[in-house]
C-alpha cells in the first residue's frame, strides 16, 4: 500500500560534540532525540517505538525512562557500528506490523570521557588477544597489510581518502577536523599500527544522533520533508578476525545486492554514498565490496577518482568518521547526513539534485554489514 511506505521525518544531533566533560552519553542522546523530534514536528509523548543500543544493561528501557516516554515497542540489538542502520530496517518492520507508529532511533556516547559501550570478553578474544592484537586498529591494520600484499595497494591510496574527507569537512561547520591535508601529511603523521597512521584513523569524539521513522500517511501531517526508506540488506559473516577467511573482503557485497533488490534500483542510480569509514583502509575495501569497483582494484580506483565536492563520486559528504566525528559508532550519522542531502539542506556541501542515497553501516571488523537505500518522494516507488 502506498500509505505504508516508510519515511524518515526528523533527524538531529546533540547540541554539543567533540569533548563534552559536562555531559553524559544519556545527555547527548536526549539532546539529539529532542532535536530530531523538533525537526519532525512531534512531541516526545507521540513516540511509541524506541530503538537504541547504548545506555546500560537495558538500554532502551533506561533511555525511555530518562527521556520520560513509555514506548509500547523497543529494541536494543547491538551489532556494532551498523546497529542504527539495522534499527532503521527493524523500525520499518515494526511500524508495518502495527507494533508502533512513531519510532525514535538514537545513539550517544562519550568515549573522550572514558564512557563507552563495554564489550565483555568473549570466545573470539581467545583467538586474538593472546597474540597482542589490539582492537580494532590492529585488526584493520592486518586487513590493510593483506590487501597491499595481495593486490599491490599502496599507502598513499589509503591516504587519499583522508584528503577527500577533509575537503568535505571543510564545508561542514560542525566537523572536528576542517583543515585541509595532503597525502604526505597523512603518510607522515605518527604511526599507530603499520601500515595505518594517526590520520588514517577515525576521530574519537563525544556525540549523539537520532532520527524518527513513520509511515507516509502520518508524514503528510508533519511539517518536514520526508525521506523515503526503499529497502535494506543485512549480512553477518563472522565474529573473530582469526576465523574471517579472506580478511580483504566484507559481507557488504551481499548486503548491498539485497538492499538494491529490495529498493528496486541499481547501483548506478545512487547519487550519494555514505559509507562507514573508521579507517582509510577499511573505506577502500568497502568501496570494492559495495560494487563501485572490482575486488582488488580499489587502490587504482581511489587514485583515479575524485570523491570530493564537485567530483566523480559523492562520498561521505559530512566529512565522515575520518574528519567529521566518530563517537565509537558512526552508523546513525551516515543516515542523518543522507537524509539532509536528500532534503537539500546541506548548504555548501549539498549535492545538486540528490535523489537517492546508499548508506553502508559496518560493525566490528567487518563482522556486520547493513545497507539502506533512501530516496526523495519523487524517486520512491
Check whether 190 has a pLDDT greater than 80. Answer: yes
- The C-alpha R_g of the chain, in whole angstroms, comes to 19
Residue 291 cell numbers, joined? 560494487
Instruction: Report H helices in the chain.
Output: 25-40, 59-67, 83-96, 137-151, 155-169, 183-188, 216-219, 252-263, 280-290, 298-304, 320-323, 331-343
Greater pLDDT, 47 or 225:
47
| Contact call for residues 104 and 122 (beta carbons, < 8 A) | no
pLDDT of the residue at 118: 47
Confidence of residue 53 (pLDDT cuts 50, 70, 90): confident
pTM over cut 0.75: yes
Check whether 65 has a pLDDT greater than 70. Answer: yes
pLDDT of the residue at 243: 82
Summary mean pLDDT of the chain: 94
User: For residue 360, what is the enclosing H or E element?
Assistant: strand 356-363
For residue 2, count other CB atoms closer than 10 A to its CB.
9
Average pLDDT estimate for 217-237: 95
- Phi, psi for residue 236 in degrees, rounded to 5: -130, 110
- Phi, psi for residue 232 in degrees, rounded to 5: -145, 165
Query: Minimum mean pLDDT among 125-139, 242-256, 352-366: which range?
Result: 125-139
Average pLDDT estimate for 323-346: 97
| Contact call for residues 94 and 72 (beta carbons, < 8 A) | no
pLDDT of the residue at 239: 87
pLDDT of the residue at 45: 96
Amino acid at each position: 500500500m502506498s500509505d505504508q511506505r516508510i519515511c524518515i521525518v526528523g533527524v538531529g544531533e546533540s547540541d554539543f560534540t567533540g569533548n563534552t566533560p559536562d555531559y553524559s552519553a544519556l545527555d547527548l542522546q536526549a539532546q539529539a532525540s529532542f532535536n530530531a523530534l523538533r525537526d519532525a514536528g512531534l512531541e516526545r509523548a507521540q513516540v511509541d517505538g524506541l530503538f537504541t543500543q547504548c545506555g546500560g544493561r537495558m538500554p532502551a528501557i533506561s533511555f525511555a525512562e530518562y527521556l520520560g516516554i513509555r514506548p509500547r515497542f523497543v529494541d536494543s540489538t547491538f551489532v556494532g557500528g551498523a546497529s542504527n542502520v539495522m534499527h532503521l530496517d527493524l523500525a520499518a518492520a515494526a511500524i508495518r506490523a502495527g507494533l508502533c507508529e512513531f519510532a525514535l532511533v538514537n545513539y550517544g556516547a562519550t568515549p573522550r570521557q572514558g564512557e563507552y559501550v563495554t564489550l565483555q570478553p568473549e570466545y573470539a578474544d581467545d583467538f586474538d588477544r593472546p597474540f597482542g592484537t589490539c582492537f580494532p586498529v590492529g585488526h584493520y591494520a592486518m586487513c590493510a597489510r593483506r590487501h597491499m600484499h595481495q593486490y599491490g595497494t599502496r599507502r598513499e591510496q589509503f591516504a587519499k581518502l583522508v584528503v577527500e574527507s577533509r575537503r568535505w569537512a571543510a564545508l561542514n561547520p560542525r566537523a572536528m577536523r576542517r583543515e585541509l591535508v595532503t597525502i604526505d601529511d597523512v603518510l607522515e603523521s605518527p604511526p599507530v599500527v603499520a601500515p595505518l597512521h594517526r590520520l588514517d584513523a577515525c576521530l574519537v569524539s563525544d556525540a549523539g544522533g537520532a532520527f524518527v521513522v513513520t509511515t507516509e500517511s502520518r508524514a503528510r501531517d508533519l511539517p518536514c520533508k520526508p525521506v523515503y526508506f526503499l529497502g535494506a540488506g543485512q549480512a553477518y559473516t563472522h565474529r573473530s578476525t582469526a576465523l574471517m577467511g579472506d580478511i580483504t573482503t566484507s559481507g557488504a557485497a551481499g548486503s548491498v545486492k539485497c538492499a538494491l533488490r529490495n529498493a528496486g534500483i541499481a547501483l548506478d542510480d545512487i547519487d550519494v554514498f555514505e559509507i562507514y569509514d573508521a579507517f582509510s583502509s577499511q573505506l577502500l575495501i568497502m568501496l570494492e565490496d559495495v560494487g563501485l569497483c572490482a575486488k582488488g582494484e580499489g587502490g587504482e580506483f581511489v587514485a583515479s577518482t575524485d570523491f570530493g565536492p564537485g567530483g566523480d563520486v559523492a562520498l561521505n559528504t559530512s566529512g565522515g568518521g575520518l574528519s567529521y566525528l566518530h563517537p565509537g559508532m558512526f552508523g546513525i550519522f551516515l543516515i542523518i547526513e543522507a537524509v539532509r542531502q536528500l532534503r537539500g539542506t546541506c548548504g555548501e556541501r549539498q549535492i545538486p539534485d540528490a535523489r537517492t542515497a546508499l548508506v553502508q553501516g559496518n560493525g566490528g571488523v567487518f563482522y556486520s554489514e547493513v545497507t539502506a537505500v533512501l530516496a526523495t518522494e519523487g524517486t520512491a516507488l
